[in-house]
Amino acid sequence: MSRIYGKTMKKRLTENMEPEMDTDDENVLERGLEFFLMKPELTGFLVTFCFFTVCWFIKDSLRLNDMHKKHVFITGCDSGFGNLLARQLDKKGVGVIAACLTEKGSQDLQACSSSTLKTVILNLTNPRSIDRAVEFVAAETGNKGLFGLVNNAGRATPIGPTDWLDMEDFHKVLDVNLIGLIDVTLKFLPLVKRARGRIVNVASVMGRLAFAGGGYCLSKCGVESFSDSLRRDMQHFGVKVSIIEPGFFKTGVTSLELIEKDLLRLWERLPPEVRCSYGDKYFDQYLKCQKLSMNTLCDGDISKVTRCMEHALTAKYPRTRYGAGWDAKLFWLPLSYAPAFVADILLKMLLPAPAASKKSVSGNQIAV
Ligand SMILES: NC(=O)c1ccc[n+]([C@@H]2O[C@H](COP(=O)([O-])OP(=O)(O)OC[C@H]3O[C@@H](n4cnc5c(N)ncnc54)[C@H](OP(=O)(O)O)[C@@H]3O)[C@@H](O)[C@H]2O)c1
């Protein structure tokens, strides 16, 4: 039936064709039309797919139009993503309250922003400091409540092979990136609920795929999990929760100077037995490989991340997750769905092998 209909259509098409259309064009058009008429399931699928894609883009592009009446509180505004987001939103007339760790960070930010932007000093590891920030924000926002809470502050070091680290190293990172973030969220939640607002939590691709020892991957994996349960609990109160998953970007967190300095501290304090299992050359090779991969991977355009944060705050329908950066979208996030052995092989190629992996371990004589 569809074959006969296809042939009739083909005839009609040929008869009504514009005289100036050349025969090659005619053939392509005819063949195309014939192909779709012969495969109604495929045509139906493509039409439905295009329809939903267009609907998704329209929905995704809708924005709130009263952002200038709302307040957004951002942590970690001394530098990096937080600093740029604060300036970006301030330029658009949003009432920004930027939390900085240092007085200098606060003054520098104020010097390059409008008088509407307010700053407050906040150390996430100090509960009293968080309480003071809550009091400040409550006074600034009054009955309206807080529309946006951006949990951005974080640190990466100490980071390195797991057996180079002790519990204190884990605490240093987890206390800021996870425990601090949870503390801030719980204390600000009543203000956000009052405004039926948004919470934007900055995780990382390293929260989806753990490829470095230390508290960083754990903390970001915890942020993912905390945000998922928070989103499900808060949906009843009109509060929306989004997660930002950036790839690698050039900021303080990825500063090779800081990471290398801290790795040297870890290497130098290693017990001789552990150091011997890695071998004398390991440390230099590790730094070389890390430098090469960081220099290749780190993107200098951090606005790719702040655009995602801004979308999560200002879109009518914010997304649940935002992968920021091409490395995140095309490599790390797809790799996180791959079987573990695929990720293991790829990640093994990025770093050098310890000396002990090439020879049998003395005593037990087990080849590692
Ligand atoms: N850059 C990347 O490639 C990347 C990738 C994935 C996720 N992230 C995440 O993105 C977020 C922002 O980092 P960034 O890349 O913009 O690096 P950044 O420039 O170092 O920003 C981190 C901010 O957090 C502040 N901070 C550190 N410890 C704090 C504490 N105890 N209390 C309050 N604030 C504290 C830092 O203050 P100081 O500057 O004064 O130290 C800084 O302003 C972090 O959560 C990070 O884990 C970054």
CA-CA-CA-CA dihedral for 268, 211, 340, 354, to nearest 10: -20
CA of 80 to the centre of ligand 1 (A): 7
Q: Nearest Cα to 137, choosing from 121, 154, 160, 125?
A: 121
CA of 152 to the centre of ligand 1 (A): 7
Query: Are 95 and 64 spatial neighbours (Cβ–Cβ below 8 Å)?
Result: no
Q: Which residue among 216, 278, 282, 286 is the active-site one? A: 216
What is the pLDDT, as a whole number, of residue 280?
87
φ, ψ at 27 (rounded to 5°):
-65, -40
Query: With 90 as the cut, is the pLDDT of residue 161 above it?
Result: yes
Atom of ligand 1 nearest to the CA of 248: 3
CA of 294 to the centre of ligand 1 (A): 17
Atom of ligand 1 nearest to the CA of 246: 6
Mean pLDDT along residues 307-323: 98
CA of 274 to the centre of ligand 1 (A): 31
For the beta carbon of residue 49, count every other beta carbon within 10 angstroms. 10
In the annotation, is 337 catalytic? no
**Using CA atoms, how far apart are residues 336 and 240, in angstroms rounded to an integer?**
25
- Name the closest-CA residue to atom 1, ligand 1: 249
Within 6 A (CB) of ligand 1 lie 75-76, 78-82, 101-102, 105, 122-125, 152-155, 176, 202, 204, 246, 248-249, 251-254
What is the pLDDT, as a whole number, of residue 44?
85
pLDDT tens profile 115-157: 999 999 999 999 999 999 999 999 999 999 999 999 999 999 9
What is the pLDDT, as a whole number, of residue 29?
84
Query: With 90 as the cut, is the pLDDT of residue 351 above it?
Result: no
Atom of ligand 1 nearest to the CA of 250: 1
- Tell me which of 34 and 20 has the higher pLDDT: 34
Query: With 90 as the cut, is the pLDDT of residue 30 above it?
Result: no
For the beta carbon of residue 344, count every other beta carbon within 10 angstroms. 12
In the numeric block, which tokens belong to residue 243? 């997660």
pLDDT tens profile 246-256: 999 999 999 99
CA of 223 to the centre of ligand 1 (A): 14
Question: Would you place residue 359 in the very low, low, confident or very high pLDDT band (cuts 50, 70, 90)?
Answer: low
Q: Which of 73, 81, 218 to mutate to test the pocket of ligand 1 (most atoms within 8 A of CB)?
A: 81
Question: Would you place residue 4 in the very low, low, confident or very high pLDDT band (cuts 50, 70, 90)?
Answer: very low
Decide: residue 310, CB within 10 A, 0-12 exposed, 13-18 middle, 19+ buried: buried
What is the pLDDT, as a whole number, of residue 245?
98
Query: With 60 as the cut, is the pLDDT of residue 360 above it?
Result: no
Q: Which residue has the tokens 């808060």?
A: 234
Query: With 70 as the cut, is the pLDDT of residue 343 above it?
Result: yes
pLDDT tens profile 182-235: 999 999 999 999 999 999 999 999 999 998 999 999 999 999 999 999 999 999
